Chains A and B, each alone.
Chain A
Amino acid sequence: MDFGSILNALILGVSIASIWLIAALGLTIIYGAAGVINMAHGELIMLGAYSSYMLQYYLGVPYLLCIPASFVIVALVGLILERGLIQYLYNRPLDTLLATYGVSLVLMQGVRLIFGSDPKYLAVPEIFSSNLSLGFLSISTFRVIVLLVTALLVLALWLLFYKTRFGVQVRAVMQNKEMAASFGINSSRVYMLTFALGAGLAGVAGSLFGVLNIVLPTMGASYVVQAFLMVVVGGGSLAGSVVASGVTGEMQSVFAFFTNDTFARFLIFVLIVVFLRFRPQGLFAKAGTRR
């Protein structure tokens, strides 16, 4: 085995990490800020892919514009979901779990009723369906796009949470909702906006996954498990999810390089279970009251 192949595996690891991370970002925000375990996260990803498909197929919107548009559309869905359902369930984690699971079924079957269960197709500019190569190194252009979008979103989220007034409010509510409320922060509004933000991020992930993968009503299910793992291992914070995705993505790629894909997954899940046995609160757990 030569040096080039290992380097390629490491680069691929970064790309796999970015895919795992972007799937987990929305869930991290919603779980971290509002403490809601959103079982419908996979279906929000699926809605993002279908939004892009709709915009492209019916309105002829170019693909790159579909990405932010999917953010807006799915964020609106998230907003409606939060106002219509989740806001009544904030202090009942088990009920939110069941309710969001129900929502996921409704969304999946609803999309199936409207679009049918046959797979859909997202067209991208020709330049994205090729690769960049430099000597023995090679990576697909679209993987670079996913990586860039993920990096951009992480930066934007960091700025939002640590450099704006809204971010301070969110962090205050995360630490202690009642105390924050007594300082005049409208916690209900903060929850609503963070939920919409998290949903919108899932929408962005969906419009990217529609290109890597296939647009189907059931596509969300394959991403939601790994997204949950990243959030749990990361401890629900943004930095935690970034580190967790980075490490597991690299492990996935390197293990698969030395053995095979199936064994790599097996090893990762075993390691995660062992890790959670010794650190159930995740990598970077926030001090503060949990609801």
Chain B
Amino acid sequence: MPNGNGQTKGDQEMTKLTDISVSRRALLAAGATGAAVLAMPNVLRAQDRTLKVGAYGGYFKDSFDKNVFPEFTKATGIAVESVAEPTGEAWLVQLQQAANAGEAPADVSMISQTSMLKGQATELWAPLDAAKIKNIDALIPTFINKYPDGRIAGIGAVAWYVTLVSNTDVYKEAPTSWAFLWDKSNADKLGLMALVSNSFLLEVTAKTFFGGTKALDTEEGILKAFDKLAELKGNVRLWYRDEAQFEQALKSGEIPMGQYYHDVTGLAIADGFHVRSTFPKEGGILDSGCWALSKASKKVEEAHLFIDFMSQPSIQALVTRKVGTAPTVKRSLTDLTDAEFAAASSEIEPIIPRYDMQVQKADWLSEKWTELIVG
């Protein structure tokens, strides 16, 4: 199909060019362009109807490119041009600055919960029309991200767990609690995430030692959690921003324990590395990403089709099987087996990050946090 299409377009161009008198040089150049167009059928097809979709670069993007986006193109004829987006807030900043200039580096992007809230503050997300998303009822309600006035800002794309991971050669027995991170025997052995807004260690500390994340309601409670975290510092060898850095060290046993993504650890296990991911008794950290549409995007129609497609229980089950993330639709609607569900999720009540605190006290928290780990 795309090839045939390409041929006609290329031929038309050639005919048009030969009709008007052109220099030999220009004709040669046009011929070269025509040949290049024929050689790249994907680009041609992409000119018909496309949607630029941002997904976290690396493993996430690769899996979606391979397993999920082609299904969408097959079903709707809309080509997906995937864009590798950095984790953290870098992408939010880029989207915001581009939107101010009327540009959208991606139409739909996978956006973290804190970034969703920050983007809401500047109306960065184009409100979504629930009527155009048939599968909206299938979603678990907490995965529908709304503006304070009730407009829909984003729809849950994937959910993932951050768990306690360890190297099985170094730790013969799996740890059972987050409290083990504080154990004296772990001096200089841990790898933890470097930012207060992605490690969610305040929440972990509150749930493990102070009875739940409600303990973080007051500044006093937060400071108590910081004090408890300070005791952990001597055990930490690496505060990482870059996932690959920790993953490599965990696999080799250089840094034998820490917090990491449950899905990626599962892949490492499948590849034969001696690592394990444990849901501690206090629960894994459940974080999630939304599909959100930039206000600068002109592909509103395509974006709704895309988000609706991604919210189908069958596609969510596919994502869980192929990418290893937890579904954002109700489990009962999917055909996931117990084993498949357990590989991506857990029945233990998760630790849900305090996104409200993370956003409202962002500057204060990051300052205290930096002073804690650097000072």
A and B associate in one complex = no
Which B residues have a C-beta under 8 Å from some C-beta of A?
none
Which A residues have a C-beta under 8 Å from some C-beta of B?
none
